[in-house]
Amino acid sequence: MLFSKKEYQDRLKKTQHSMQEKGLELLISQDTNNINYLTGYDAWSFYYAQCVIVHVNLEEPLCFVRAQDAGGAYIKTYLKKENIIVYDEKYIHTWPMHPYDSLVSLIKERKWDKLNIGVEMDSHYFTAYSYEKLKKGLPNANITDSERLINWVRFLKSEAEINLMKGAAKISENAMKVAMESINPGIRQCDAVAEIQRALFRGTPEIGGEYASIAVLLPTGKGTSASHLTATDEKFVNGEATVVELSGVNKRYHCPIARTVHLGKPEQKKIDAMKATNEALNEGISAAKPGNTADDVAQKFWGVLDKYNIKKESRTGYSIGIGYPPDWGEHTLNISKDDKTILKPNACFHMIAVMQFGDWGVEASESVRITDKGSELFCNFPKDLHIK
């Protein structure tokens, strides 16, 4: 078991407390991260229906998985065997049959079909089809959007979680160092990623790495104007910049980092943009402390950009912790103006400045932890434009 039973029980109690506040008696979460958080379940089975089911009064949640994954649930969760609910293989991609037919039957058997049931309407993998199955199968239930209830329980980390993230940060540093060494003119992008991936999985002698919830992002040249491009088998070109965004992963906990490397002498505009970006990041992070809001951090960040007359429309950060594909963001706090979320100790976020200027761009980021009096960075790696 990765965490103590007490820690899992605390997570459940906080979730049930939030459910009571929202008037929910049953909560169905298809969010892979939330399933992991509440049960310990960890497998690449999220490509079809599975969920954690929380009853407001029960001492354990239920983990609902397909038959082929029952063995994984017995190994990975802390739950009693009776709380792992297995659905039949006949439901896998055999529409109009669907795993949620089996879920509806389960809810009826337990006589939960007249309860106030929360579902995570906009969470990854909670498809419109699953929702319709529940609505049609449970006409007497009151089904509402629980929004990001469990995500918000995840917002403040325990010391055990912080320690895992510190381990992930060490892996991120190692991998970024390898990235900076591997990106050279005439080298294929994929060959640089090969070395980065190797570093991400080797981790440290004490901590092994895992697959990240986002692939290594590696926009290069004109691609630096687009933040989510991945490596191809084309070669790096002298005179061009490359953005590297990656994350070490330790027991599913992430600590992402982004840096920009330039091959050959950069134009002055890129040097200036990188300097302004880093000044804005540092200024924003200086406002990251308990009692301040996400907006306070954003105001400081955009204050610097305004000084340099730089426009940026997108948010500049989001909460982090557990991650499964396709995202390592927690979908709670955003570092943007008007986000009035109050920062508290052990809130953790990825403060990332994606700066796009037509057909070029630069990026840098820090993973930040709110401490008792201020904040600290998870990674120790220079943010300057890395020129080689």
Binders of a second copy in range 143-182 (CB under 8 A): 145, 147
Q: Which stretch binds a second copy (CB under 8 A): 12-20, 276-284, 320-328, 370-378?
A: 320-328
What sections of 203-352 are H helices per DSSP? 268-286, 294-307
Residue in 203, 266, 317, 321 binding a second copy, rule: CB under 8 A: 203
Among positions 72-101, residues that touch a second copy (CB under 8 A) are 72-76, 88-90, 92-95, 98
Residue nearer to a second copy on the CB measure, 128 or 309: 128
- Regarding 350 and contact with a second copy (CB under 8 A), the answer is no
- Regarding 318 and contact with a second copy (CB under 8 A), the answer is yes
107, two tokens:
């809810």
| Cβ–Cβ < 8 Å for 39, 69 | no
- Regarding 232 and contact with a second copy (CB under 8 A), the answer is yes
DSSP line for 237-272: -TT-EEEEEEEEEETTEEEEEEEEEESSPPPHHHHH
Least distance CB 269 / a second copy (angstroms): 17
- Regarding 329 and contact with a second copy (CB under 8 A), the answer is yes
Number of residues that bind a second copy (CB under 8 A): 90
Q: Which stretch binds a second copy (CB under 8 A): 12-20, 108-116, 214-222, 258-266?
A: 214-222
Residue in 166, 327, 341, 381 binding a second copy, rule: CB under 8 A: 327
Of 6, 1, 55, 4, residue with least CA distance to 27: 55
Residue in 267, 306, 359, 376 binding a second copy, rule: CB under 8 A: 359
Residue in 52, 162, 168, 193 binding a second copy, rule: CB under 8 A: 193
Is residue 250 left, alpha or beta, with left meaning phi > 0 and alpha meaning psi from -120 to 50? beta
- Regarding 314 and contact with a second copy (CB under 8 A), the answer is yes
In the 3-class helix/strand/coil scheme, how is 168-195 assigned residue by residue? HHHHHHHHHHHHHHHCCCCCEHHHHHHH
- Regarding 326 and contact with a second copy (CB under 8 A), the answer is yes
Residue in 7, 43, 272, 275 binding a second copy, rule: CB under 8 A: 43
- Regarding 136 and contact with a second copy (CB under 8 A), the answer is no
Residue nearer to a second copy on the CB measure, 86 or 156: 86
Residue in 231, 244, 335, 379 binding a second copy, rule: CB under 8 A: 231
Angle, CA 363 vertex, CA 359 and CA 367 arms, to 5°: 155
Q: 169: number of CA atoms within 13 Å, CB side?
A: 22
- Regarding 39 and contact with a second copy (CB under 8 A), the answer is no
Q: Strand 348-357 vs strand 253-262: parallel, antiparallel, or unpaired?
A: unpaired
Among positions 105-134, residues that touch a second copy (CB under 8 A) are 119, 121-132
Evaluated on CA atoms 106, 112, 115, 118, the torsion sign reads negative
Cis ω for the linkage preceding 256 (within 30 of 0):
no
